[in-house]
Chain A
Amino acid sequence: DAGITQSPRHKVTETGTPVTLRCHQTENHRYMYWYRQDPGHGLRLIHYSYGVKDTDKGEVSDGYSVSRSKTEDFLLTLESATSSQTSVYFCAVGLAGTATQYFGPGTRLLVL
């Protein structure tokens, strides 16, 4: 599992509240990714990081921000959660020099 943990694993929140999801890895991979998975859409890239403090937007970045102050942690923040952000969120790490990724167990987020 490439030593990836996500927290929390489940969260229920209300519209308009801020939410932060954490991804932690133990193997010093340079690349880290946040995806959301929704029925009919598959996995879609939200943001990714290619090093400490180096991040870039993905396909569906609106309404999300990220931070990476340490190699091992990649945080995803929903500044003001909306019901459309109800989803399963997966973190992944990427092996440098290849296109392979290893995924975490996921966080199920419900925004009421």
Chain B
Amino acid sequence: QKEVEQDPGPLSVPEGAIVSLNCTYSNSAFQYFMWYRQYSRKGPELLMYTYSSGNKEDGRFTAQVDKSSKYISLFIRDSQPSDSATYLCAMSVTGNQFYFGTGTSLTVIP
């Protein structure tokens, strides 16, 4: 069993839709949770970073961590064509070694 599981999609939504991206994990010791966005043939860029549990909001993006269910989510409101990318979740116990999901491919259709 992988440390982090993520549905690869692809996910296709109309512009303006709310997007929900999710990851599950098996290691209850994870306490750092990140979401990255990766455009084609580019390096990942950090979107959201959460320590421990709870919600965090940044503009159109909201990250949620449910440690009791070992489940994290990223919500994108009012999705835009520029949001079309692959979204990666990542987790860490210590903040040194990171475990990534395989990524979910998202396309936002104008």
Contacts and interface: CB of A to CB of B under 8 A. Distances in A.
- Grouping DSSP codes into helix (H, G, I), strand (E, B) and loop, the B interface class, with mixed when no group exceeds half, is strand
Q: How large is the interface on B (under 10, 10 to 19, 20 to 34, 35 or more residues)?
A: 20 to 34
Interface in A27-80: 31, 33, 35, 40-45, 48, 50, 58-59
B96 A41 contact: no
B97 to A, nearest CB: 6
Interface of B: 4, 6, 8, 32, 34, 36, 41-46, 49, 51, 88, 90, 92, 95-103
20 contacts: A40-B8, A43-B90, A43-B98, A44-B100, A45-B98, A45-B99, A48-B97, A58-B97, A90-B43, A90-B44, A94-B95, A94-B96, A99-B49, A100-B46, A101-B34, A101-B46, A101-B98, A103-B43, A103-B45, A105-B43
